[in-house]
Amino acid sequence: MSGKAILSLIIAAVVAVVGLSSVFIVYPYEQAVITQFGRIERAVQEPGLYVKVPFIQNVEYIDKRARYLEESAREVIASDKKRLLIDSFTRYKITDPILFKQKAKFIPNFESQLSGFMGSSLRDVAADFDFQEIVRDKRDLLVEAIRVAVNDKAARLGVEVVDFRVRRADLPKENSEAVYRQMQTERQQEANGIRADGEQLALQIRSIADRNATVIVANARRDSEITRGEGDAERNGIFAAAYGKNTGFFEFYRTMQAYERSLSNGDTRLVLSPDGEFFNYFSGSVPSEKTAQ
């Protein structure tokens, strides 16, 4: 091979090396920071093919996808002075690569700071909620308040906290039994209150029912007395009309009723005058209609 050919190969190799060192590719899931002699020159956050100064400028890639950081249980004190152990985790993503490189430099350094942000925010926010609210009633509000607090601190490092979750909130073992007993007492008091309200309501219902029953019975008795009076009046009217039409039969009917009432009991004793008219129908002496009148 001639010297000219060797020189051409060397030049081609140099051009290839320079060319490859002059371009870089940014993929959709990443972003790049270009530095020159250790100083940040610019950042690239959109995917594509880019050019840099070869051998002088360097490219550092930073993942733009959300990352996950899990925290071990931390002890916090609720507003009602109860102690809890809370496990939590957060998801974050780097949104400002230049600020991130200036403040945090590397992900391990940042996650160490983020862990501190999570702990302090968790303690501060939990102090505004009582035990029941943290465990059940206002857990969503607690979680969102912590996420906002952590995000405000992380934003100063070029990071956005996209999610924060409380995985578990438990009492320390030494406090669990006392709190559970207190909760049981509170539930029992609530049940007793509900039961007392029910008994009072039942008493009111029974009182109203008794009063209504008394009124109904009184009205029924009044109506029955009125009906009985009307019946007696009608009966007396019928008797009077019958007496006016057939006096003898009326006297006979009244005498038969008297016999029935007097002789229905076998032990009845009657003391009568010999010339009394009570047993005239037995002796065959039937009073005349004229005599009866």
Where residue 161 sits, what CATH number does that domain have?
Answer: 3.30.479.30
pLDDT mean across residues, the chain: 83
Domain boundary among the residues 139, 171, 203 is at 171
Q: pLDDT digit string (tens) for 38-90?
A: 899 999 999 999 988 888 889 999 999 999 999 888 888 888 888 888 889 99
Report the distance separating Cα 9 and Cα 81, nearest Å.
79
Predicted TM-score (pTM) of the model is 0.55
Which two three-digit tokens encode residue 128? 């505004």
| pLDDT above 50: residue 158 | yes
Q: How far apart are CA 158 and CA 261, in angstroms?
A: 117
Which residue, 171, 191, 217, sits at the end of a domain?
171
* DSSP symbols for 75-97: EEE-TTS-EEEEEEEEEEEES-H
The pLDDT score that the predictor gives to residue 25 is 92
Domain hosting 29: range is: 3-63
- On whether both 83 and 18 belong to a single domain, the answer is no
Residues 81 and 111 in one domain: yes
Contacts (Cβ under 8 Å, ≥6 apart) of 63: 29, 30, 94
Long-range contacts of 64-68 (CB under 8 A, 24+ apart): 64/29, 64/30, 64/31, 64/93, 64/94, 64/95, 65/29, 65/93, 66/91, 66/92, 66/93, 66/162, 66/163, 67/91, 67/92, 67/93, 67/107
What percentage of the chain exceeds 70 in pLDDT? Answer: 78
pLDDT band, very low/low/confident/very high, at 259 (cuts 50, 70, 90): low
Comparing 36-50, 202-216, 232-246, the range with the smallest average pLDDT is 232-246
Residue 194 domain-assigned (yes or no): no
Angstrom CA distances, 154 to 45, 67, 116, 245, stand at 19, 13, 11, 119
pLDDT of residue 268: 64
Q: Would you call 272 helix, strand, or coil by DSSP?
A: coil
Residues 6 or more apart whose Cβ sits within 8 Å of residue 93: 64, 65, 66, 67, 159, 160, 162
Domain co-membership, 120 together with 151: yes
Look at residue 177 in the predicted model and tell me its pLDDT: 67
* Strand duo 48-51 + 57-63: pairing: unpaired
- Report yes or no on 242 lying in a domain: no
Question: pLDDT band for position 276 (50/70/90)?
Answer: low
Cβ contacts of 251 within 8 Å, gap of 6 or more: 287, 292
User: Of 137, 171, 205, which residue is a domain's last?
Assistant: 171
pLDDT, residue 68, reads: 92
In 18-81 the beta strands, taken as DSSP E runs, fall at 23-26, 30-36, 39-44, 48-51, 57-63, 67-77
- Does residue 75 come out as left (phi exceeding 0), alpha (psi in the -120 to 50 range) or beta? beta
Among the residue ranges 92-96, 196-200, 255-259, the one predicted with the least confidence is 255-259
Helix (H, G, I), strand (E, B) or coil at 64: coil
* 17-26, 33-42, 128-137, 220-229, range with the lowest pLDDT: 17-26
Total residue count of the chain as it appears in this document: 293
Residue 18 lies inside a defined structural domain of this protein: yes
According to the model, what pLDDT value does residue 66 have? 93
Using 50, 70 and 90 to split pLDDT, how confident is the model at 291? very low
Residues 165 and 76 in one domain: yes
Number of domains into which the chain is organized = 3
Q: What would the DSSP string read from start to end of 132-178?
A: HIIIIITHHHHHHHHHHHHHHHHGGGTEEEEEEEEEEEE--HHHHHH
Per DSSP bridges, beta strands 67-77 and 57-63 are unpaired
Confidence tier at 163 by pLDDT (50, 70, 90): very high
pLDDT of residue 31: 95
